[in-house]
Amino acid sequence: GQNIDQPTEMTATEGAIVQINCTYQTSGFNGLFWYQQHAGEAPTFLSYNVLDGLEEKGRFSSFLSRSKGYSYLLLKELQMKDSASYLCAVRAVDDKIIFGKGTRLHILP
């Protein structure tokens, strides 16, 4: 079966660093996405990993280990506007994109 696991909720402090983990078991693997979704809004693209390693984009970085079926999203210098849900998604066989249920991140001042 297809399964993507990520924590339901996390809390962090403004200015700190937080790591959101995602593990997956899917039929085939053609890439992993991270999306940010603010309450009441559509998801917006953050990152895409298809090879092992770390991809850095400003305050956000995403890591992938295909052999371990594992990824994480690292958010640095947290800001209040980073309070949102973070969705991990895998492009599996036949290019179907499967989403995890999301991690709701709360930022405390």
Instruction: Examine residue 10 and tell whether it contacts other proteins (CB under 8 A).
Output: no
Please, which residue, 4 or 78, has the CB nearer to other proteins?
Answer: 4
The tokens describing 51, both together, are 């090879």
Using only C-alpha atoms, what is the Rg of the chain?
A: 13
Residues between 33 and 62 with contacts to other proteins, criterion CB under 8 A: 33, 35, 41-45, 48
Residue from the set 39, 53, 57, 94 that interacts with other proteins by CB under 8 A? 94
Q: Is 99 one of the binding residues for other proteins (CB under 8 A)? A: yes
3-state secondary structure of 103: strand
**Beta carbons of 107 and 82 less than 8 angstroms apart:** yes
Binding site for other proteins (CB under 8 A): 30-31, 33, 35, 41-45, 48, 87, 89, 91, 94-102
